[in-house]
Amino acid sequence: MTAAKDDSNTEEKEKKPKKFQTPKGVNDILPRDHEYYTYLKKIIRHRCRQAGFRRVTTPIFEFTEVFARGIGEGTDIVSKEMYVFEDKAGRSLALKPESTAGVVRAYIENGMSNWPQPVELYYIEPHFRYDKPQKGRYRQFWQFGIEVIGEKDAALDAQIIQLSRLVIEDCGVYPLVELHINNIGDFESREKYAEALKNHYIGKERSLCDSCNDRLHSNPLRLLDCKAEDCKILAQLAPKASEYISKESKEYHEKVLEYLEELGIDYIENPMLVRGLDYYNQTVFEFTVTDNKGQQNSVCGGGRYDGLTELMGGVPDTPAVGFAMGLERMIELMKRENIRVPSKDNLHIFVAQLGDVAKRKCLSLISELREHGIKTVGALGKGSMKAQMRLADKFGVPYSLILGITEVRDGTIILRDMEKGKQEIIPIEKAIEKVIEVIGEKNLDTYSPGEVIY
Ligand code: ATP
Ligand code: MG
One DSSP character per residue, 339-352 reads: ----------EEEE
Name the residue with the closest Cα to ligand 1, atom 12: 301
**For residue range 276-324, what is the model confidence (pLDDT) as tens digits?**
677 889 999 999 998 866 666 899 999 999 999 999 999 999 999 999 9
CA triplet 160, 164, 167: central angle to 5 degrees?
140
Q: Are strands 119-128 and 177-183 parallel, antiparallel or unpaired?
A: unpaired
pLDDT of residue 292: 66
The residue among 107, 127, 122 whose CA lies nearest residue 43 is 122
Q: Tell me the whole-structure pTM to 2 decimals.
A: 0.90
Which amino acid, residue 177? V
Rounded distance between C-alpha atoms, residue 258 and residue 260, angstroms: 5
For the ranges 193-197, 336-340, 365-369, 395-399, the lowest mean pLDDT is seen at 193-197
Task: For residue 143, give the ligand 1 atom closest to its CA.
Answer: 16
pLDDT greater than 80 at residue 382? no
The domain ranges of the chain are 31-186+245-336, 349-443
Name the residue with the closest Cα to ligand 1, atom 25: 137
**For residue range 73-87, what is the model confidence (pLDDT) as tens digits?**
888 899 999 999 999
Asked whether 143 lines ligand 1 (CB < 6 A), one says yes
Q: How far is the CA of 155 from the centre of ligand 2 (A)?
A: 28
Rounded distance between C-alpha atoms, residue 306 and residue 110, angstroms: 19
- Look at 24 and 191; give whichever has higher pLDDT: 24
pLDDT of residue 190: 85
Residue 264: how many CB atoms within 10 A of its CB?
Answer: 8
Helix (H) or strand (E) holding 148: strand 140-149
Q: How far is the CA of 252 from the centre of ligand 2 (A)?
A: 28
Dihedral, 132, 137, 140, 143 alpha carbons, nearest 10: -140
Q: How confident is the model at residue 94 (pLDDT cuts 50, 70, 90)?
A: very high
The residue among 45, 32, 124 whose CA lies nearest residue 343 is 32
User: Per-residue b/e over 352-391, b at no fewer than 16 CB within 10 Å?
Assistant: bbbeeebbebbeebbeebeebbbbbbbbeeeeeeeebbeb
Which amino acid, residue 18? K
pLDDT of residue 225: 80
Asked whether 176 lines ligand 1 (CB < 6 A), one says no
Q: How far is the CA of 333 from the centre of ligand 1 (A)?
A: 14
Average confidence (pLDDT) over 414-442:
96
Residues making up the chain, counted from first to last: 454
Asked whether 324 lines ligand 1 (CB < 6 A), one says yes
Q: How confident is the model at residue 5 (pLDDT cuts 50, 70, 90)?
A: very low
Helix (H) or strand (E) holding 407: helix 405-410
pLDDT of residue 2: 41
Helix (H) or strand (E) holding 401: strand 399-403
- Look at 453 and 260; give whichever has higher pLDDT: 260
Q: How far is the CA of 332 from the centre of ligand 1 (A)?
A: 14
Q: So what's the architecture of 31-186+245-336 in CATH?
A: 2-Layer Sandwich (3.30)
The residue among 243, 247, 239, 242 whose CA lies nearest residue 223 is 239
pLDDT of residue 297: 85
- Look at 9 and 47; give whichever has higher pLDDT: 47
Helical H segments across 27-137, by residue range: 31-50, 64-71, 76, 100-109
**For residue range 283-294, what is the model confidence (pLDDT) as tens digits?**
999 999 988 666
Whether omega for the bond prior to residue 427 falls within 30 degrees of 0, making it cis, is: no
Edge-first strand listing for the sheet containing 177-183: 54-55, 119-128, 140-149, 320-326, 298-304, 281-289, 177-183, 268-269
pLDDT greater than 80 at residue 250? yes
Rounded distance between C-alpha atoms, residue 224 and residue 216, angstroms: 10
Task: For residue 131, give the ligand 1 atom closest to its CA.
Answer: 27
Average confidence (pLDDT) over 130-139:
95
pLDDT of residue 390: 92
pLDDT greater than 60 at residue 448? yes
Asked whether 333 lines ligand 1 (CB < 6 A), one says no
pLDDT greater than 80 at residue 14? no
**For residue range 175-204, what is the model confidence (pLDDT) as tens digits?**
999 999 999 998 888 888 889 989 999 999
Query: Closest ligand to 142 CA?
Result: 1
Q: How confident is the model at residue 1 (pLDDT cuts 50, 70, 90)?
A: very low
Asked whether 298 lines ligand 1 (CB < 6 A), one says yes
Q: Which residues pair with residue 350 across a beta bridge?
A: 377, 400
Residue 423 CB partners (closer than 8 Å, separation 6+): 402, 414, 415, 416, 417
Q: Give Cα 91 to chain centroid, integer Å.
A: 29
pLDDT of residue 294: 60
Query: Closest ligand to 134 CA?
Result: 1
Name the residue with the closest Cα to ligand 1, atom 9: 301
pLDDT of residue 220: 87
Residue 337: how many CB atoms within 10 A of its CB?
Answer: 12
Edge-first strand listing for the sheet containing 422-427: 376-378, 349-353, 399-403, 412-417, 422-427
pLDDT of residue 259: 98
The residue among 427, 448, 437 whose CA lies nearest residue 349 is 437
pLDDT greater than 60 at residue 266? yes
Average confidence (pLDDT) over 131-140:
95
**For residue range 39-70, what is the model confidence (pLDDT) as tens digits?**
999 999 999 999 999 999 999 999 999 999 99
Asked whether 279 lines ligand 1 (CB < 6 A), one says no
- CATH for the stretch 349-443: 3.40.50.800
Share above pLDDT 70 across residues of the chain, in percent, rounded to a whole number: 95
